[in-house]
């Protein structure tokens, strides 16, 4: 075992799990990643393919890992945008991992990644800024069941939970990312000779919003799992600031050399469904890397983010009180990620 510990990252190739692996390796943790499809280029991370819904498969594959000290759980059952995510499946997946590892006696900590849905921000107006001890909304919500399970099971080991806001990163090939949703929408509008109109609700355009860069989230997660005072606690994770689309949107339009149009509430899933030929022309005209339209933007996700008519805001006081003081400028984060996509010839 390394001086820091031996980490098992569940959901290791997902947006958050991948960055957690990177952060752990940077800090000299021995790291094992669990995922459906192990990558070909494994680097310094060892990967295992495990069916998390199969208790026997988890026992067989994970039970042989006798010295895992920390679990970083960032997996979730397959789901669409909106609606209720399966409680039985998500709870069983976590249980199968923990049960397979507890017999070894080496487990010291289990971290689970939650999110703003813990506070019901996906259901309608909620108390904001949200604080970690706010009352729960009416079930179902698998975050509650997973946390209750860890609280009841913990004893020889501890747990922690991160609740990041909407997360953003440079993740080519992963369309559930608002950065590429905005970028592809913008360049398609530009190709059609249209201004850049905000596609969400008017209220959303004026409300406060927040977000979290994934490397920032990963840093906070490893801190939680390493800081003794964070044991058996949950923490919000955001960039530490907030913004309004009404101020950011003109800057985005300027980045793509466009004028700003009026707010034009629409369903991106409906309006962008037939725009693949336009995207293909953009790729050819600008000599971009060939990337399938469906791999660039998940339009239903854009509709989900731009729909709320109320502030999306979490309180970061608790994390700061416990010692996590890192912060980022959210507006600058957007342009930094846009630039990475542009430098990689994925957007013009």
Q: For residue 2, is pLDDT > 60?
A: no
Q: Which residue has the higher pLDDT, 34 or 81?
A: 34
CA distance 319 to 317: 6
- Provide the pLDDT confidence category of residue 209 given band limits of 50, 70 and 90: very high
CB atoms within 10 A of CB 284: 10
Cα(first)–Cα(last) distance of the chain, in Å? 46
Q: What is the pLDDT of residue 31?
A: 96
Name all domains of the chain by residue range, CATH numbers in brackets: 6-167+213-237 (3.40.50.720), 168-210+242-312+329-343 (no CATH)
Residue 133 makes CB contacts below 8 A (sequence gap 6+) with none
Q: Is the peptide bond before 129 cis (omega within 30 degrees of 0)?
A: yes
Radius of gyration of the chain measured on its C-alpha atoms:
21
Q: Residue 101 has what pLDDT?
A: 96
- Asked whether residue 202 carries a pLDDT value surpassing 80, the answer given is yes
**CA–CA distance, 23 with 211 (Å, rounded to integer):** 20
In the predicted model, is pLDDT for residue 190 greater than 60?
yes
pLDDT confidence band for 82 (50 / 70 / 90):
low
pLDDT of residue 61 exceeding 80, the answer is yes
The whole-number pLDDT of residue 36 equals 85
pLDDT at 319: 98
Helix (H, G, I), strand (E, B) or coil at 249: helix
At 339, is the pLDDT very low, low, confident or very high (cuts 50, 70, 90)?
A: very high
pLDDT value of residue 84: 77
Element housing 186 (H / E):
helix 178-191
Q: What is the pLDDT of residue 3?
A: 58
Cα separation, 192 vs 187, in Å, equals: 9
Q: Is residue 331 scored above 90 in pLDDT?
A: yes
% of the chain with per-residue pLDDT over 70: 98
Going from the C-alpha of 346 to that of each of 195, 234, 338, 339, 341, the distances in angstroms are 21, 37, 10, 10, 5
Asked whether the predicted pLDDT for residue 37 surpasses 90, the reply is no
> What does the pLDDT look like over 87-106, one tens digit per residue?
999 999 999 999 999 988 89
* pLDDT > 80? residue 42: no
Q: What pLDDT is stored for residue 104 in this prediction?
A: 82
Residue 174 — very low, low, confident or very high, per pLDDT cuts 50/70/90?
Answer: very high
pLDDT band at 39 (very low <50, low <70, confident <90, very high): confident
pLDDT in tens, 299-310: 999 999 999 999
| Angstrom distances, CA of residue 187 to CA of 95, 183, 194 | 44, 6, 10
What is the tens place of the pLDDT at every residue in 214-273?
999 999 999 999 999 999 999 999 999 999 999 999 999 999 999 999 999 999 999 999
What local confidence, expressed as pLDDT, does residue 80 receive? 66
* pTM of structure: 0.96
**Predicted local distance difference test score (pLDDT) of residue 219:** 98
């Amino acid at each position: 075992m390394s001086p820091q510990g031996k980490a098992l990252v569940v959901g290791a190739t997902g947006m958050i799990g991948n960055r957690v692996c990177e952060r752990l390796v940077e800090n000299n943790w021995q790291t094992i990643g669990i995922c459906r499809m192990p990558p070909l280029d494994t680097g310094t991370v060892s990967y295992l393919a495990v069916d998390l819904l199969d208790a026997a498969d988890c026992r067989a594959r994970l039970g042989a890992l006798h010295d895992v000290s920390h679990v970083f759980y960032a997996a979730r059952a397959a789901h669409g945008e909106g609606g209720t995510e399966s409680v039985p499946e998500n709870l069983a997946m976590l249980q199968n991992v923990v049960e397979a590892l507890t017999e070894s006696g080496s487990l010291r900590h289990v971290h689970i990644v939650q999110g703003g849905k813990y506070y019901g921000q996906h259901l309608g107006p909620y108390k904001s800024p949200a604080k970690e001890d706010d009352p729960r909304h009416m079930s179902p919500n698998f975050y509650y069941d997973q946390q209750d399970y860890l609280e009841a099971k913990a004893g020889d080991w501890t747990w922690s939970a991160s609740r990041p806001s909407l997360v953003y990163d440079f993740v080519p090939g992963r369309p559930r990312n608002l950065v590429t949703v905005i970028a592809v929408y913008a360049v398609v509008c530009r190709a059609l000779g249209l201004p850049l109109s905000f596609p969400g609700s008017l209220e959303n355009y004026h409300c406060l919003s927040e977000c979290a860069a994934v490397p920032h989230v990963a840093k906070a997660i490893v801190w939680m799992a390493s800081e003794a005072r964070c044991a058996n606690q949950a923490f919000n994770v955001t960039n530490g600031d907030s913004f309004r689309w009404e101020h950011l949107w003109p800057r985005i339009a300027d980045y793509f050399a466009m004028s700003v149009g009026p707010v034009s509430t629409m369903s991106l899933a409906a309006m962008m469904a037939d725009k693949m030929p336009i995207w293909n022309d953009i790729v050819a005209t600008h000599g971009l890397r060939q990337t399938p339209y469906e791999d660039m933007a998940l339009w239903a996700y854009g509709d989900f983010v731009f729909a709320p008519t109320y502030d999306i805001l979490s309180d970061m006081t608790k994390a700061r009180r416990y010692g996590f003081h890192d912060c980022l400028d959210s507006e600058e984060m957007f342009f930094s990620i846009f630039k990475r996509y542009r430098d990689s010839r994925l957007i013009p």
